[in-house]
Amino acid sequence: MRKEPKIDIPEAEQIPQFMKVLDDLSCGNNVFLVGSAGTGKTTLAEKVAFSLFGRAENDGKELPFVVINCNQWTSPIDLKGGQTIEGYKEGGLIEAWRDGKILILDEMPKLDANTAGILNDALAKSAQENAIIFNGKNEPVRKHTMFGCVATGNVIGKGISGNYVGNNKQDASLLDRFSGCIYKVGFNETLERQLVYPAVAEICIRIRNAILRYEGKEAGDDDTEDIMTLRTMLNMQRAYELEMKRELGMKDGTGAFYKKMPNGKTFRDALESYMSTMNKDKALHISEEVNLEGFYNSYKGTVMREGFIREYKRRNG
């Protein structure tokens, strides 16, 4: 019997697709999350898995999901199992099917279409009780009640993408297994502002909006040449937090004071590294539009220091 889902994920209300994905898995549907790199697709799948099993995140127990990192070299052995030079290896699909876990097919469109076809039989039976599939030894394996599948991808898999060239066109029969349960995961400013320090979130969102305007894209369009995602913001936030701890002479976990380090990583370094990957004219245009130089001169000032301290205390009690 399926357990009653438990919503013990602080960000659940800020993720519009959360309950829909949870409900789909609860009733046996396969889910496909589509969106740009860094928008939190795999993280969403993992969070939903914990909720589906009535568990809190990071509870120290065995993970309730199996992740297959899909690429052109993913083989039938990775999915259903087979002989290797080290002996028989069980596939991720079989483990999740047998043991009652969520199968996360991370970046599914990167699979070779022929290899991906191996999934068809199992995914057609996700909602069937006591369904049988066969492992790499051609042995029958009975489906656990709690089995579910969440696939993620930068594209749906109907064609080639200009920005994500590692993807393959997938057979319509595979995509049909997710019909009615495909969700776009894009920018989520509410969630970004909840998880990211105000100074970091504000300048990063301004840069992203400037990129959208420069590329002639609509607000919220995540199919951009230069992306500014939650993952990028969190990377920058780590540099920002370390720099501010050093600026303020705060103490680390051992009680020692953070000290300024010559040529240590700064938030400015992180932003400049990000901007350096753009076309030079584009980077200059965006830097001027968001007044990046003005931000560099202010983010360690009195007002923004006080803002950092308030947020740090809120996060750390």
Specify the CATH number of the domain 12-184: 3.40.50.300
Q: How many CB atoms lie within 10 A of CB 236?
A: 23
Give the C-alpha separation, 152 to 182, whole Å: 10
Give the C-alpha separation, 265 to 242, whole Å: 8
Question: What are 101's two structure tokens?
Answer: 């876990």
* Burial class of residue 68 (count of CB atoms within 10 Å of its CB; 0-12, 13-18, 19+): buried
* Burial class of residue 101 (count of CB atoms within 10 Å of its CB; 0-12, 13-18, 19+): buried
Answer yes or no: are the C-beta atoms of 141 and 147 closer than 8 Å.
no
pLDDT of residue 239: 97
Give the C-alpha separation, 146 to 198, whole Å: 40
What is the helix (H) or strand (E) element at residue 316, kind and residue range?
A: helix 302-316
pLDDT of residue 271: 97
Residue 32, beta-bridge partner list: 151, 182
Give me the tens of pLDDT residue by residue for the chain, a chain 317 residues long: 455 676 766 677 778 889 999 999 999 999 999 988 888 899 899 999 999 998 888 888 999 999 999 998 999 999 999 998 989 999 999 999 999 999 999 999 999 989 999 999 999 999 999 999 999 999 999 999 999 999 999 887 665 554 554 566 788 899 999 999 999 988 888 889 988 999 999 999 999 999 999 999 887 777 778 889 889 999 999 999 999 999 999 988 888 999 988 899 999 999 999 999 999 999 999 999 999 999 999 999 999 999 999 999 988 87
Looking at 188-279, list the stretches that DSSP marks H as alpha helix, in order from N- to C-terminal side: 189-195, 198-214, 230-248, 267-276
What is the helix (H) or strand (E) element at residue 32, kind and residue range?
A: strand 31-34
pLDDT of residue 2: 58
The beta strand positions in 60-217, using DSSP E, are: 65-69, 82-84, 87-89, 102-106, 132-134, 140-142, 148-153, 182-184
| Domain definitions of the chain by residue range | 12-184, 189-316
87-89 vs 65-69, strand pairing mode: unpaired
